[in-house]
Structure formats: structure tokens, C-alpha cells
Amino acid sequence: MSTTNPLLMPFTNKDQAVPFDKIKVEHYLPALDEAVQQAKARIEKIKHNSAAADFENTIVALEAASELADKISSIYSNLEVAHADEALQALAKEIYPKLTALSSDIALDQDIFQKVKAVYDKRKDLTLTKEQDRLLEKTYLSFTRNGALLNAQDKETLRQIDQELSVLGPKYSENVLKATNAFEMVLDKKEDVDGLPEGVLEGAAALAEAKGHKGKWLFNLQIPSYLPFMTYAKSRPLREKMWRAFSSRAFDDSFDNQQNVLKIVQLRDKRAKLLSFKTHADFVLAERMAQNPQTVTTFLNKLLDASKNAGKKDVAEVAAFAKKLDGLGEIMPWDFAFYSEKLKEEKYAFNEEDLRPYFQLEKVVDGVFAHAKKLYGLAFKENKDIPVYHPEVKAYEIFEEASGKYMGLFYTDFFPRETKKGGAWMTQFRGQGLIEGEMKRPHVSIVCNFTKPTPTKPSLLTYDEVRTLFHEFGHALHGMLSDCTYSSLSGPSVYWDFVELPSQIMENWVGEKEGLDLFASHYDTHQPMPADLIEKLKASQKFQAGYMSCRQLQFAKMDMAWHTTSPSEISDVDAFEEKVTAETRLFPKIAGANSSCSFSHIFAGGYSAGYYSYKWAEVLDADAFEYFKEKGLFNQEVAKKFKENILSRGGTEHPMDLYKRFRGREPDPNALLRRDGLI
């Protein structure tokens, strides 16, 4: 074993935190090669164990076989999306195929599978705990879902498909990032930036200066720059220019993803059929709460029935308002955010920007910590000695406040940069559970792309960014409060359509005075957010709910269409997208705009045939939050039930069993429509 490669040496920081300060690009491949050899040796040991296969010597041993490779993989894959220069990005096409080859080697090994099957077949006679039983079932399924029952020729085909897919996802993602970074709009005329709030202009001026355009304003396609421009810029031609650039990323440009999309869906379909599933969606949904595409389609159609007319009314109302205000003949997609915001101001007498001064990032972070303390008894303490991978990242130790018990590490990474992909996500550098023979606490991280501080102001968040922070922190709590034995079942390792419940429920507290009072105070005067502003915010919560719902349903239905249609029927990415979004579209299709080529969630993330899960989990979170509202937002009894039955149990039992134990019944499907004011 190498004595100089930090990835192969013992991690000596607090709780074996990752030594980001020591790891260099050239360390990954040699370390991974070593880790793969180690995993293979462990697999051989399991195979050649002469004792009869049992839960410990087969299932638990398999769980631990690739620990080192998993550790290296999680560090690399997290940095590849959060902080990757060209050199780190370039490693993707070597690293992911190596990891995929290792998992194929294990999944397609007939001798190992026979041992797993031997334990699985006698499971009725074993005295296993619920969690052990779930691990056994999950292990058996992971073999059958990865080709263990196939003949030799089909196994080889499957291996080739998985290799190809391991390169295509990162390539797709890289194209989206490059296309996003390729567009910049530099403005120097005052009339071009008319309408934009002072804080936004200051950020744009700082961005311009950093790029050598002193005295001008620079806008790009990263959300903290793009969204305010679309919402406040009076210049219609420039809004159109921004909208077209954003909506055509990686479509028909030098980073075109059309062939990648077609190839990915072909390979996924071929893989599903090889494993005896009708479509990729059938394959995915067999391991979800929804179980099959029919259930998902029925669910989405029910929501669409309730949302479509409301969405049409929302657009008509904004169109009428734009006509009255500016004599606009026809409203276009690049007009919607602008006039929608103006209409909201007129209806509720407040502007989204009025909220910003009350949402200083540091105070919002304190607020999210205060919620974790009031609900679940957690305390956070920054530790500057723990290495981080970028100067903007902070590391905290997590404790149980009452007992002082150490609960893990928490990293935050809040601002956009060219080495980071767009969006926001929670991830882990280490899951909770049995690792290297010891119970370990998790190392959780949240990564976002929020409004940066300017030379004269701290980072002041939009309301949407505040909700995003609470959302990702909800995922983080799922990791932090995990109390399972096996790491592959711990924290957010749950059915994909259940994973959004802990995150989405957290957003609810930010819509309530009791939640906002914990942290929303003016960055300058330190006065709390006025009660009347909170009332206006609450009143506006249902504004455009139909439009927003249709938008989410459009993505969900498009995802299902890509993964239930035979690829032989799809030759043109854009024509297919136009066809399958017809029923959810509230605006006519604009030539040159295409979502599929930058829909990273489903083509480069884990959401293929799973985008519906946001809506699915919204039903769960609306229903669960009604329970909190009934008993009190910080009611200790309800919080304890949520922590013990949902946050701490990971994927150790079926999600519906966990939910019913928390709520006392199945979720009420109308809870979401009630919350959105759609019924």
C-alpha cells in the first residue's frame, strides 16, 4: 500500500474527516486501482470460504468488500460536481468506468450470487432483525437487478451497456456546465439594466470587474444572475436574449447533448429489456413506492386535472395584466417572471426584493440550526481545523445538545463558481453505519448556488433561496440523525420517491411566522421581519400555484415519456419533447428552446423515471406538516415521532410502514391540493 498517497493512508483529522488539503488530482487513479484490487481480494475470500454461506460471512462481508473504493469514489464524485477544474473533470472518463467494472465484476459473479441466493432461500429459517432482513433482500435484488440470472452472453452485453452509461452521464453533465459557462452578457448602458434592484446590479458589477469589464455589468446563466434579470429587467429584448440562451443550453450548440440523450435512453431501454422489464421506467419503479409506470401516470394525471385550469388562469391573468400595464399584445415565456412579479406586487403590496434584507445568509444558517435544535435537539459548532476543498466551504461538528453526544460532521458550500454545476444538493462524504468494523457517524454536506456577497453587502438571499437552504438541510437531517447498523440502508438510502419527504417538509417552517421569527431580521437595523410583511408573504404563497404545478408536472411527464417510449420511435430529441409536453405546456413551443438537453436530473443525476417523486413527496410532506400544524409547529411529541420513525430509520423498512407509524394512517392524497389552494 502506498505510503505517500493521502487517499490510501489513515485519515487523521477529527473523526477521520477527508484530508482535502492533501489530495491532488494525480492521487485518485492510483488510489482507486489499489482499492479495486483490495475489493477483488475480499470478494475472492468470500467466494473461497469453505464454511456454509450465512448472513455474516456473505451478506455483511459483501457490504464491507468495497469500502475503500466507495470512500475514494464518494470523494471524487462529490468534487467532480462541486469543485472540478478541467483536470479533475477529465478523470471522470477513467474513474467511472473503473468503478462500474468493479460493480459489474461483483454483480455478475456466479459463485458469489449462489452464496447470496443460498442465504436468501433460507431466510424464513434465520432469526434476523427487520434491518438484517431488509439488507438480505436488498443484496439479493441488487444481484438480480444487475444481471445475476442472465446467461454468459447477456451478462457480457449488460457489462458493455453499463460501461457506456458510466461515461455518457458525466459527459452530458460536463456539456451542460460548459454551455452554461459559455454565455455572458456584458452591459454598459443604464437603460439596459433599468428595473434591476441595486443589490443585483452591485453583484453584476463585481462579476464584470472580476472578468476585466470594470464599470460595466455582467449577467450569466447561473441562477443568482439569471433569475433576477428575468424577474426585474425592463428591457424585453434583453430578457428574450437571456431566456433563449438559458433555454437552449447544450442544444444545437458546440456542447450539443442530443446524441447523448438518444444514446442514454437507448442503452437504458436495452438494459431493462435484457433484465426482462418492459421499459426502463418499469425497471426503476419496481424498487419505488409507486411500483409501476401506470401508478405514476395516474398520479400525475390526477394532479394535472386539478392544476391545468388553474395554470391557464394564472397565465391569462398575467397576460391581461401585461396588456393593461404596457399594452403587450402577446405574452411570451421571457415576459412571464417579469409581469408575474409586478402582478404579485399589485395584489399583495410587496415585492420579493422586500424580503431579501431580512435573509442574510449567516442568519438563515443560524435559523436552520435553530430549527434543528428546537425540533431535534441538535447543536452545531464550526471547526476551522477540519480541512475543506474550497475557501468558501465551512465545516461544523454536530452534537446532541442535551447529552453532548457527537453526531457527525456537516459541510456547507453556498456560492456559484465555474467549477461547480448548477442547482443545489445534499450529499455525504461518509454515510452512517458499520464501516471498517466500527459504527461511524456521518459526514454530510450541502452544496448550493446562492447570491454572493457584494463589496458593500453581505449575501442576501431571495425567499426561494431560503426555502432551498431549508430543503437541502432537511436532506442533511436525514443523514445526521440516521441510526442504522448497515451504511447501505442508512440516512437517505431510501426509495427515491420517499427521499424528498425529509427535505420538502422543512420548507414549510419558512412559510410560518413562528419559523421566520427565529431568524428573519434586517441585516442592517437588526429589526425582526415586520408582521405585516410576513402576512403578505403568507397570503402570496398560493399565488401562481397552478402554473408552478403544471411546470413540475411537465418535467415529470417528460421524464416518464423518455423512459416508457420505445427508443426506436424517437429519432428527433426536439420533436419528441414537443409532442410529450403538449398537454402540460401553458405557452407555445419556442423554436430553439429545449429542456431535454440540459435536464441533468434525469440524464446525469439519479432521477431517471423518478422526477415525479418531487410531487409524490409533496403529498407526503403536506400531509405530515398538517400533523405538526394540528399539534404545534415545534411540538416535541410529533417531532420525536418524525425523528424516530422517519429520519433515523433510513431504508431499513418499507417507507409506507414507516410513514404509517409516524402518522397513524396512510397519507391523505388531497393534502397537497388543499395546501396549494387547488381544491
> Cα–Cα distance between 338 and 486 in angstroms, integer?
49
> Cα–Cα distance between 615 and 266 in angstroms, integer?
27
Length of the chain as a residue count: 679
CA torsion through residues 679, 353, 183, 468, sign:
negative
Of 34, 131, 352, 472, which one is the catalytic site residue? 472
Among 14, 129, 8, which residue's Cα sits nearest to residue 396?
14
- Phi, psi values for residue 594, rounded to 5°: -155, 130
SS3 call for 639: helix
> Cα–Cα distance between 256 and 251 in angstroms, integer?
5
> Cα–Cα distance between 503 and 505 in angstroms, integer?
6
Q: Three cell numbers at 220?
A: 450569466
Q: Which residues of 597-612 are buried (b: 16+ CB within 10 A; e: fewer)?
A: bbbbbbbbbebbbbbb
- Phi, psi values for residue 394, rounded to 5°: -115, 150
**213: Cβ contacts below 8 Å, ≥ 6 apart:** 186
What DSSP character marks residue 448? -
**90: Cβ contacts below 8 Å, ≥ 6 apart:** none
Among 62, 327, 470, which residue's Cα sits nearest to residue 319?
327
Q: Three cell numbers at 84?
A: 472540478
Largest CA distance in the chain: 83
> Cα–Cα distance between 432 and 89 in angstroms, integer?
28
What DSSP character marks residue 645? I
What DSSP character marks residue 598? G
> Cα–Cα distance between 230 and 333 in angstroms, integer?
10
Assess contact for 567 and 269: CB atoms under 8 A.
yes
> Cα–Cα distance between 270 and 279 in angstroms, integer?
8
Among 602, 612, 614, 590, which residue's Cα sits nearest to residue 562?
602
> Cα–Cα distance between 505 and 28 in angstroms, integer?
38
Q: Three cell numbers at 108?
A: 455478475
Assess contact for 445 and 410: CB atoms under 8 A.
yes
Assess contact for 399 and 406: CB atoms under 8 A.
yes
Assess contact for 46 and 123: CB atoms under 8 A.
no
Q: Three cell numbers at 629?
A: 400544524
* Residues forming beta bridges with residue 381, ordered by sequence position: 397
Please give the full DSSP string across 237-270, using - where no structure is assigned: HHHHHHHHHHHTTTSSSTT--HHHHHHHHHHHHH
> Cα–Cα distance between 29 and 207 in angstroms, integer?
35
Quick check: is 472 catalytic?
yes
> Cα–Cα distance between 418 and 111 in angstroms, integer?
46
Amino acid at 577: E
Please give the positions annotated as active site: 472
